[in-house]
């Protein structure tokens, strides 16, 4: 204060330095920067609290040379600090012009800066003073301002000031945009509120009430509905409740949603079934090749429905490997019956509320997917596909498969209760068709309520027919090709099915045919020459090398080797079982990734041979002095099941008797210690695998004859069947070593 008064009373000049740290109460020389500003004291104002306010104007920069004294105020020697002259005059003038323009824009956009500042900017002629004035008024901290003050080059200072002004301009623009957006949003809300209040007042004056109109519309719709007394009473009770609720309350919309669900559900509405059974059979045959058992079951159901007029719909469960057409069969059934089609995937479902719905008291409550699907279908008797029922989840949130028990029980589903609906809904007219890949993971109680129909894999012959009737026409259409653009003969389709796919269904076959279509489409689009008749020689070019190494029958001349038939999830296959004997102590070794049941079959076969050694002409001491090794090739593939029993018996007998098994002979069947041959499953797939491999004679249990009779005779040409009941008969047929 003393320094300011002294300067004001003498030459009006004062040296100003910034502190390095603003918090220092009593700064010394070391606490001050060395470069400061010489300023002129224009005015000194005494304030009411005893302090003074000085208005000063910067004149030039200085450099602190020496501090002479600090009492009663700081007195120092300083030297004037000039800016280094600019070398690029034109560039400097351009940037100064830009600074003046930008400064005017910033002043206009800043509500806090008076508009008179524009006049000040225009009146400052000195470039040095202009840069100093703008620098002092930039919205930056003191440290940045000190950096600007210490810059030696005038053009460098101008560039730095311009950058900072540009940043400030961007900040102002963003701020203005945000303020404008907020202002528009608030104005819109206020406008909407004002208009709504006006509309409400006008409607009240005219006697119109939108809520009343909405309720009146619901009542009018209810008069057209055919529903039971219980549903009607519920609707009337709920409509009376909604009339009393204030429309502004959240419960009002919840009640409206519930009433709309009651009106949207097809309570007593049914579509008329197509009772032209011949046409139904024709439709099913058009859409699917084979699957006779399923088609017959559907026709039987329709026949009873036609004669009786009313019956509870069956709950069918189609079980089979992927790609055999389980879901698409449901679509065909709906098309044949002229019913609506609904599909609900149960894969990964873990919350029972998805089936039964939520109680209305919960936030976001909604009906279960069963009721939602019925509402979507618009009829109470659709064909309802429950896809992947074997993949329903179960965790702490609930057990959906238990909730399905009521849905899939013909005795209970006429009174299905949904938590949201809070009324019983009749599902007995719905034709539920569940699909599954395996029965192992389905809850036993749920399994008991369904009629299981097994859909086995297709044979190669059936795949060829499916490809010709369905896959090729569809893929040709999807790829924009005409019938004369591509031709696939039976031998090529057989090659694709056997060498490029290994599946029970036809999905992979469909993809391979699509690859062929893409190859043809590329040639047609590029107008290249190609042969429309696809040959087997060009398949490797299109599909790559063979993916499946088909293990075909090779004639066996050595003893101890027998050929069995196996069922896999991708169809049937032939199985070589090898046995060898070596000196030892009667140890039995089994290799080839065998399951427990298959190991037990080997033990049973060996026990039978030991028990009947005399009849077979084998010395009892041989068993004590011989180690036996049974191996099934392809050890990487797990194998299990009882059907290799007869094959193991034959292989062991062949090894002990040192007599080869008859050529071109295969067998399958379970064995017992008493010498009986029991029937096994998967006969169709096994027989077709044997035929593909070139087998000419197959030994089966007599009980399996009915399964062979179900196979089309065309598929069995060149194969003879020998049916046996006893293990002795197997050995007689295979080795001709047993005499009765």
CATH (domain of 450) = 3.40.50.300
pLDDT value at 720 more than 60: yes
631 shares a domain with 592: yes
Residue 192 in domain: no
Which two tokens mark 330? 């449901």
Q: What strand order describes the sheet that includes 341-345?
A: 341-345, 383-387, 431-436, 316-319, 451-454
Give the domain CATH number at 515. Answer: 1.10.8.60
Residue 19 bridge partners (DSSP): 32
Query: Are both 578 and 695 inside the same structural domain?
Result: yes
Give the tokens for residue 425: 């809904």
Q: Could you read off the pLDDT of 490-541 as tens digits, one per residue?
A: 888 888 887 888 777 888 888 989 999 998 898 888 888 888 888 888 888 8
pLDDT at 340 over 50: yes
Same domain, 479 and 582: no
Known catalytic residue: 601? Answer: no
Who has greater pLDDT, 359 or 312? 359
pLDDT of residue 50: 80
Using the 3D structure, point to which of 173, 195, 224 is the last residue of a domain.
173
Backbone φ and ψ of 721, nearest 5°: -115, 135
Whole-number Å distance between alpha carbons of 229 and 497: 59
Residue 202 in any domain: the answer is no
How many structural domains does the chain have? 6
- Same domain? For 432 and 303 the reply is yes
pLDDT value at 739 more than 60: no
User: How high is the pLDDT of residue 104?
Assistant: 83
* Ordered alpha helix ranges (H), 571-710: 596-611, 613-616, 620-624, 645-657, 683-692, 705-709
Confidence category of residue 649, pLDDT binned at 50, 70, 90:
very high
Give the pLDDT of residue 677. 92
Q: For the residues 294-316, what does the mean pLDDT come to?
A: 77
* Res. 553: pLDDT tops 60: no
Is there a binding annotation on residue 383? Answer: no
- Tell me 265's DSSP state: S
List all residues 6 or more positions away from 214 whose beta carbon is below 8 Å from its beta carbon: 256
- Is residue 608 exposed (0-12), middle (13-18) or buried (19+ Cβ within 10 Å)? buried
Q: How far is Cα 285 from Cα 469, in angstroms, rounded to an integer?
A: 10
- Kindly state whether residue 312 falls inside one of the protein's structural domains: yes
Query: Could you give the dihedral angle defined by the CA atoms of residues 401, 404, 409 and 410, in that order, rounded to the nearest 10 degrees?
Result: -150
Same domain (yes/no): 97, 228: no
CA distance 162 to 38: 24
> How far apart are alpha carbons 552 and 695 in whole angstroms?
9
**422 and 569 housed in the same domain:** no
Q: Residue 50, annotated ligand binder?
A: no
Nearest to 342, CA basis, from 389, 380, 393: 380
| Active-site position among 559, 686, 691, 701 | 686
Residue 556 inside a domain? The answer is no
Structure tokens at 367: 């009906």
Q: What are phi and psi of 209, to 5 degrees?
A: -135, 115
Is 323 known to sit in a ligand binding site? yes
The annotation status of 650 as a binding-site residue, yes or no, is no
pLDDT at residue 548 greater than cutoff 80: no
In the residue annotation, 663 being an active-site residue is answered as no
Of 412-421, 510-519, 566-575, least confident by mean pLDDT is 566-575
For residue 740, is pLDDT > 50?
Answer: no
Most confident of 47-51, 239-243, 352-356, 695-699: 695-699
Residues 440 and 465 reside in one and the same domain: no
Residue 651: per-residue pLDDT:
92
What is the chain's mean pLDDT, rounded? 83
Same domain, 31 and 48: yes
**pLDDT (0 to 100) of residue 210:** 63
Whether 167 maps to a domain, the answer reads yes
Two tokens, residue 138: 């930039």
> What CATH number did the domain enclosing 65 receive?
2.30.130.40
Q: Are β-strands 670-671 and 677-678 bridged in parallel, bridged antiparallel, or unpaired? A: antiparallel
* 327 assigned to a ligand binding site: yes
Residue 267 DSSP label = S
CA distance 385 to 516: 33
With a CB cutoff of 8 Å and minimum separation 6, the contacts of 56 are 14, 16, 39, 40, 41, 42
Q: Is residue 188 part of a domain?
A: no
- What average pLDDT does this structure show over 163-183? 86
Q: Is 361 annotated as a binding residue?
A: no
pLDDT band at 310, cuts 50/70/90? low
The residue range of the domain holding 232 is 210-264
Residues 68 and 98 in one domain: no
Domain final residue pick, 264, 287, 307: 264
Q: Which pLDDT score is estimated for 699?
A: 93
Query: What's the CATH code of the domain at 602?
Result: 3.30.230.10
Residues 141 and 223 in one domain: no
Judgement on whether residues 333 and 445 belong to the same structural domain of the protein: yes
Q: Give the count of beta carbons closer than 10 Å to the beta carbon of residue 671.
A: 26
For the cut 80, the answer to whether the pLDDT of residue 180 exceeds it is: yes
Residue 683 lies in a domain: yes
Residue 498: left if φ>0, alpha if ψ -120 to 50, beta else—which one?
A: alpha
Residue 548 lies in a domain: no
For position 212, what pLDDT does the model report? 73
* Domain termination site, one of 422, 454, 486: 454
**Is the pLDDT reported for residue 550 higher than 60?**
no
Give the DSSP letter string of 213-232. HHHHHHHHHHHT----HHHH
* Same domain, residue pair 236 and 379: no
* Residue range 64-111, pLDDT digits in tens: 888 888 888 889 999 988 888 777 788 888 888 888 888 888 888 777
Q: Both tokens of residue 381?
A: 């008797």
Query: Is 560 annotated as belonging to a binding site?
Result: no
Q: Which of 353, 459, 643, 701 is catalytic?
A: 643
* Residue whose tokens read 């005059």: 89
pLDDT at 203: 63
Higher pLDDT, 240 or 248: 240
Closest CA to 368 of 423, 420, 427: 420
């Amino acid at each position: 204060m003393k320094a300011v008064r002294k300067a004001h009373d003498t030459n009006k000049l004062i040296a100003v330095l910034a502190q390095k740290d603003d918090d220092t109460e009593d700064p010394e020389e070391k606490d001050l920067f060395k470069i400061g500003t010489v300023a002129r004291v224009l005015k000194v104002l005494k304030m009411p609290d005893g302090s003074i306010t000085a208005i000063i104007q910067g004149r030039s920069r200085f450099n602190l040379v020496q501090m002479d004294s600090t009492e009663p105020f700081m007195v120092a020697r300083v030297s004037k600090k000039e800016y280094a002259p600019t070398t690029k005059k034109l560039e400097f003038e351009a940037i100064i012009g830009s600074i003046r323009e930008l400064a005017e824009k910033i002043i206009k956009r800043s509500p806090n800066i008076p508009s008179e500042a524009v006049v000040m900017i225009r009146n400052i002629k000195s470039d040095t003073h202009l840069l100093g004035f703008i620098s002092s008024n930039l919205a930056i901290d003191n440290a940045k301002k000190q950096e600007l003050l210490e810059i030696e080059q005038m053009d460098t200072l101008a560039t730095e000031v311009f950058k900072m002004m540009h940043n400030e301009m961007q900040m102002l623009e963003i701020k203005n945009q945000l303020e404008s957006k907020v202002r528009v949003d608030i104005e819109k809300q206020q406008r909407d509120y004002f208009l709504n209040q006006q509309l409400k007042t006008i409607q009240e004056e005219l006697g119109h009430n939108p809520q009343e109109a909405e309720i009146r519309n619901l009542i009018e719709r209810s008069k057209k509905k055919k529903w039971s007394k219980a549903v009607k009473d519920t609707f009337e009770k709920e409509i009376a409740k909604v009339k009393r609720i204030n429309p502004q309350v959240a419960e009002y919309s919840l009640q409206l949603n519930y009433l709309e669900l009651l009106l949207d559900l097809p309570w007593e509405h049914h579509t008329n079934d197509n009772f032209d059974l011949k046409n139904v059979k024709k439709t099913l045959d058009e859409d699917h090749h084979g699957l006779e058992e399923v088609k017959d079951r559907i026709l039987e159901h329709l026949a009873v429905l036609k004669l009786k007029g009313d019956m509870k719909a069956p709950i069918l469960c189609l079980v089979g490997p992927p790609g055999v057409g389980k879901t698409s069969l449901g679509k065909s059934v709906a098309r044949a019956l002229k019913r609506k089609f609904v599909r609900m995937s149960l894969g990964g479902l873990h919350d029972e509320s998805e089936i039964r719905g939520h109680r209305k008291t919960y936030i976001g409550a909604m009906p279960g997917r069963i009721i939602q699907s019925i509402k979507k279908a618009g009829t109470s008797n659709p064909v309802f596909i429950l896809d992947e029922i074997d993949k329903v989840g179960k965790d702490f949130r609930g057990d959906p498969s238990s909730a399905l028990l009521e849905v899939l029980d013909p005795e209970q589903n006429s009174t299905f209760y949904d938590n949201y609906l809070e009324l019983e809904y009749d599902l007995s007219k719905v034709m539920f068709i569940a699909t599954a890949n395996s029965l192992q993971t389905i809850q036993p109680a749920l399994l008991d309520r369904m009629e299981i129909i097994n859909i086995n894999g297709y044979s190669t012959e059936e795949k060829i027919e499916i490809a010709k009737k369905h896959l090729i026409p569809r893929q040709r259409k999807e790829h924009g090709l005409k019938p004369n653009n591509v031709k696939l003969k039976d031998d090529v389709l057989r090659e694709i099915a056997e060498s490029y796919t290994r599946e029970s269904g036809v999905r992979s076959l469909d993809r391979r045919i699509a690859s062929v279509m893409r190859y043809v489409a590329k040639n047609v689009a590029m107008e290249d020459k190609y042969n429309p008749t696809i040959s087997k020689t060009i398949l490797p070019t299109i599909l790559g090398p063979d993916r499946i190494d088909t293990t075909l029958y090779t004639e066996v001349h050595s003893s101890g080797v027998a050929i069995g038939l196996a069922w896999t999830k991708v169809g049937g296959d032939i199985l070589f079982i090898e046995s060898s004997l070596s000196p030892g102590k009667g140890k039995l070794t089994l290799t080839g990734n065998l399951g427990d049941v298959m190991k037990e079959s080997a033990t049973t076969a060996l026990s039978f041979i030991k028990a009947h050694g005399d009849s077979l002409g084998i010395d009892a001491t041989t068993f004590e002095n011989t180690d036996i090794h049974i191996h099934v090739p392809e050890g990487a593939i797990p194998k299990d099941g009882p059907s290799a029993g007869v094959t193991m018996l034959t292989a062991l007998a062949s090894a002990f008797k040192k007599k080869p098994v008859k050529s071109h002979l295969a067998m399958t069947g379970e064995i017992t210690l008493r010498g009986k041959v029991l029937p096994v499953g998967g006969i169709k797939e096994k027989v077709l695998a044997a035929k593909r491999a070139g087998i000419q004679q197959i030994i089966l249990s007599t009980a399996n004859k009915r399964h062979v009779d179900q196979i089309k005779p065309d598929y069995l040409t060149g194969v003879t069947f020998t049916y046996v009941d006893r293990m002795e008969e197997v050995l007689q047929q295979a080795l001709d070593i047993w005499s009765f």
